[in-house]
């Protein structure tokens, strides 16, 4: 709902955006040499937004947010880039109050649906896609990681992303 406290984790380490009024909300982006440029652009885009948004640097595996202080926490294509995504999931679970929601949108690069005439080439492509990202099979791991973090009522929605054209 509109006045819910929310953390949105967008990349593993870097810029965090948090609303300052009326309820704190949180967003992460990558920590790079371009952090100040990203912060400046985000501030410009969010100028005059309601609620007001604050930007700072943080880490998805060590959220500087009090226990059970948020109604929800969301990660969007973050966990696939972490060497230990269970730490970030545990942090998300830690900061969300009882009855809140933890949501993750993550691909499963090892489970791509590819329509190609050569099965061996197709197998090599899916193996490569699953291995090129730190945690390329994170999509299938989410239910287990959520349950390990103590989350209940875990739901999985599979959204296929077929590949049919490689020209």
Tens of pLDDT along 48-69? Answer: 877 676 676 667 888 888 899 8
What is the reported pTM?
A: 0.75
Report the distance separating Cα 79 and Cα 61, nearest Å: 10
Give the per-residue pLDDT at 14.
Answer: 46
State the alpha helices, DSSP H only, in the chain: 35-46, 85-95, 119-132, 138-148
Tokens of 156: 């999985």
Among 51, 97, 55, residue whose Cα is nearest residue 73:
97
47 CB-near residues (< 8 Å, 6+ apart): none
Contact 25, 72 (CB under 8 A): no
Give the per-residue pLDDT at 77.
Answer: 81
Report the distance separating Cα 8 and Cα 140, nearest Å: 21
- Cα–chain center distance at 74: 6
pLDDT in tens, the chain (167 residues): 334 445 555 444 444 555 444 444 445 544 555 667 777 787 888 788 776 766 766 678 888 888 998 888 888 788 888 888 999 999 999 988 898 889 898 888 888 888 788 999 888 988 888 888 888 899 999 999 999 999 999 998 877 777 676 65
């Amino acid at each position: 709902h509109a006045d819910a406290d929310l953390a949105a984790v967008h990349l593993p380490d870097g810029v965090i955006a948090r609303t300052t009024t009326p309820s704190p909300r949180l967003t992460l982006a990558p920590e790079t040499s371009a952090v100040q440029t990203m912060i400046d652009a985000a501030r410009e885009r969010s100028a005059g937004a309601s609620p007001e948004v604050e930007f700072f640097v943080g880490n998805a595996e060590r959220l500087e947010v009090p226990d059970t202080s948020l109604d929800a926490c969301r990660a969007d294509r973050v966990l696939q880039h972490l060497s230990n995504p269970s730490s970030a999931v545990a942090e998300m679970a830690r900061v969300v109050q009882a009855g809140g929601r933890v949501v993750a949108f993550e691909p499963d690069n090892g489970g791509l649906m590819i329509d190609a005439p050569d099965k061996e080439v197709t197998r090599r492509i899916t193996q490569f896609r699953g291995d090129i990202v730190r945690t390329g099979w994170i999509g299938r791991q989410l239910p287990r990681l959520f349950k390990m973090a103590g989350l209940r009522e875990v739901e999985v929605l599979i959204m296929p992303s077929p590949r049919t054209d490689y020209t």
